[in-house]
Amino acid sequence: MFHVITGGSGSGKSKYAEELVLSAGKGTRIYVATMIPYGEEGMQRVERHRKLRAQKHFRTVECYTGLEKLVFPKDGIVLLECMSNLAANEMYEADGAHEQTAQAILRGIDSLRAQVRHLFVVTNEVFSDGLAYDEETMRYIACLGEINRRLAQRADAVTEVVYGIPVKVK
Amino acid sequence: MKLIIGGACQGKLTYAKETYHITDGWADGRSCSRKDLSSCRGIHHFHEYIRRMILSGEQSAALADLERQAGEFARTLAQENPELVIVSDELGYGIVPVEKTDRLWRELTGRICTCLAAQADEVVRVVCGIGIRIK
């Protein structure tokens, strides 16, 4: 099962995705954390997510770039969060895939799908604030848009979470 | 409680007025007081009310405590005004804002609206003037 969970910022995507993992049956629960906790606010965000996950028996694996290097057990129930961070890391970090970001991430996703029982990927809707950004940011938006489209093609299910309410997309 | 959300300029207020037959008794989130929230029949530009809460210092900027504060705010509002119709822009569908206040605003709006959605007996998303009932 490959399920993509999307939504705006602060919409309850994480909580919903974690509930999906909890109801996915037995297996090794693995949380793939992709956000590099820069600064005080970054630390606070990570802390908030850690609290959300406490008591849910996740093994946490930090992966900032190079998704395809991960090796997981067959009974893995994997929650990757968040694609928007992973894409930014691959584009801008020194050891990232840069121009090859979308391809590298999709290879990583395909590798995970082939390894584990269930894969849940949280991504982000960053496409609708109607603002024009600098060229670099527009390139990022286009890249994440492409990744999301190609994830959705592969996915068995796609859900948009709207203020805590799951809305079925696929 | 009813929650009507969607992008800007989608006809949310018109939808709410027509659907719930509320022609007067609307508070405007850009100017109303906290007291108005407990007595009005509907509030529109609710996201702007949240912004004013932040700017007035009524809302502390501690991200870690945001959900508890959002939950408290939503529960109190639901108790005070259980028939309230809330119309809010749906924020958070863009790139992380540069300004700290803007980041806090969209985060807090998300958390409060998520709590309100949980309390509401109806949640409608309006797109191009058309309401899609999601709860």
Domain boundaries, chain B: 22-133
What average pLDDT is seen over chain A? 95
Please report the number of interchain residue pairs, chain A to chain B, with beta-carbon separation below 8 angstroms.
Answer: 80
Is it true that domain A2-168 has CATH number 3.40.50.300? yes
Mean pLDDT of chain B: 93
Nearest to B92 among A8, A45, A47 (CB): A8
**Domain locations along chain A:** 2-168
pLDDT of residue B59: 65
Residue of chain B with shortest Cα separation from A131: B94
- Does ipTM come in above 0.95? no
pLDDT of residue B62: 63
Give the CATH class of B22-133.
alpha beta
Chain B positions contacting chain A at CB under 8 Å are: 3, 5, 7, 62-64, 67, 90-96, 100, 103, 106-111, 113-114, 116-118, 123, 125, 134-135
Q: Is residue A158 helix, strand or coil?
A: strand
Q: A149 burial class (0-12, 13-18, 19+ CB within 10 angstroms)?
A: exposed
Round to whole Å and give the CA distance between A87 and B78: 39
Contact at CB, A163 and B117, closer than 8 angstroms: yes
Bridging pattern class, strands A118-122 and A76-81: parallel
Question: What ranges in B1-135 are assigned the alpha helix state H?
Answer: 12-20, 34-39, 46-55, 66-80, 100-119
Choose the closest CB to A11 out of B62, B114, B135: B114
pTM for the structure as a whole: 0.92
- pLDDT tens column, A58-101: 999 999 999 999 999 999 999 999 999 999 999 999 999 999 99
Which pLDDT belongs to residue B10? 94
* In chain A, % of residues over pLDDT 70: 100
